[in-house]
Structure 1
Amino acid sequence: MISTVLLKKYGASEIHLEKREILFKVDTQARYFYQVNSGKIKMNNFNEDGKEFIQGIFSSGASFGEPPLFAELKYPAQAEAVEKSSVWRLEKESFFKLLRENPETHLELTKVLAGRLHYKATMVAEISTESPEHRLLKLIDYFKTHIHKIPKEEPYLVELSRQQMADLTGLRVETVIRAIKSLEKKKMVQLQSHKILR
């Protein structure tokens, strides 16, 4: 999203994370802007029973955790490396200076945040009212068109695991497996070597 050149110009440093390493925890005060350089980062919570709920998965070029930074709040979720990853970290005041001095970048970031708000509002409605099949199709289509920018008419090979799909939609993994099989029978998705194609 924000170019590496611009991030470095304003003093960003690169942090390297191993798989499952925590970048920041729930209730930590937001002090930095973060953007994935390589690998994948997820923001997640756990309920009292230990069930994970994934707020989002972010790959190369995507930023994460900005709302608490803007609002001077603590993080409502933790950030964890899904795989070996590197992340750009920029101190809060330097980040705000970057945005003030680069209005086009500020506008692009605003568009991204607006898209995430729209996704959250859509998924809240889906989780509370729609069937597992419908929720999964919404999730897959969102990742296809908004995250990976693949045109609707082109095939999309889903990178998410069944467990990640469950954690993103509030479903049990067994329910996801059954729903995917049902969607395959209805010819709404295809399975290729256990991978989902939409």
Structure 2
Amino acid sequence: MIINEKFLFSAGAEVKEYNTGDVIFQDGASPLYYYQLTKGKVKLNNYNKEGKELIQKIISEGESLGESLLFIDKPYPVDAVALEQCTVIRLYRTNFFSMLNVYPHLYFNLCQGLSDFLYYQYIMLQANSSQNPAERIIGVIDYMKDSKKDHTPFSFKVPFTRQQIAALTGLCVETAIRTIKNMEKKKIVKIKDRKIYF
């Protein structure tokens, strides 16, 4: 959890529910709220000129989304779309800054969350700069597994579909599927009941 919910609610936060496919905020819109996900998954995505989807990140429970733009007053460069039924706590921008003034220790939590997001961006940039599709895919799933306690082989169930893996790595779906099958043959991943384990 980035910011304890009690601080958000004391500052006037509200709970919003989103269904699968609902847009939480859109590319080009002005950032008006701090958002913190308490249930579900949200993708931050955009599309290239050819219309191919690029997923920048998949946000999980306890994470926030789009907060960095509250500090620089720039429009969102991505869409935030619910991947499943979601519950989000949202706090209006001016209330968010008032809360930070009243509870300055929350800046540390916020900086920690922003630093984690920057670290993720660095890892993804490095992985996605590779011409090797397997290195791109391993970069994504290795980052996810790194946050878990169990690092033994095949202990991590990849929470993404093959379509999402392709969109996260900039690969076409067919390449992602073929690469994952080759990775299974090389015993880099294990596939069980159509789920990928790393």
TM-score using structure 2 length: 0.93
Which one-letter code corresponds to 1:89 in the other structure? R
Runs of at least 5 residues in structure 1 that lack an aligned partner in the other structure? none
Quote how far apart the aligned CAs of 1:173 are. 0.8
Which one-letter code corresponds to 1:190 in the other structure? K
| Cα distance between partner residues in 2 of 1:118 and 1:52 | 22
**Structure 2 residue aligned with 1:133:** 134
Query: Alignment length, in residue pairs?
Result: 196
1:72 maps to 2:78: no
**Structure 2 residue aligned with 1:22:** 23
| Cα distance between partner residues in 1 of 2:39 and 2:143 | 21
| Cα distance between partner residues in 1 of 2:178 and 2:41 | 27
Quote how far apart the aligned CAs of 1:127 are. 1.6
**Structure 2 residue aligned with 1:31:** 32
| Cα distance between partner residues in 1 of 2:7 and 2:150 | 29
Quote how far apart the aligned CAs of 1:178 are. 1.1
8 A contact 1:13–1:89 mirrored in 2: yes
8 A contact 2:38–2:62 mirrored in 1: yes
Change (3 A) 1:181 1:59: same
**Structure 2 residue aligned with 1:122:** 123
8 A contact 2:17–2:86 mirrored in 1: yes
8 A contact 1:46–1:52 mirrored in 2: yes
Encode CA deviations 1:135-171: one digit per residue, 9 max, x unaligned. 111100112224xx34423711111000001101101
8 A contact 1:157–1:196 mirrored in 2: yes
**Structure 2 residue aligned with 1:169:** 169
**Structure 1 residue aligned with 2:14:** 13
Runs of at least 5 residues in structure 2 that lack an aligned partner in the other structure? none
Which one-letter code corresponds to 2:76 in the other structure? Y
Which one-letter code corresponds to 2:175 in the other structure? T
Worse-matched range after superposition: 54-63 or 98-107? 98-107
1:152 maps to 2:133: no
| Cα distance between partner residues in 2 of 1:63 and 1:50 | 27
8 A contact 2:47–2:54 mirrored in 1: yes
Change (3 A) 1:153 1:100: farther
Quote how far apart the aligned CAs of 1:82 are. 0.6
| Cα distance between partner residues in 2 of 1:3 and 1:115 | 17
Change (3 A) 1:113 1:130: farther
8 A contact 1:150–1:156 mirrored in 2: no
Quote how far apart the aligned CAs of 1:57 are. 0.9
Note the aligned Cα RMSD (angstroms).
1.5
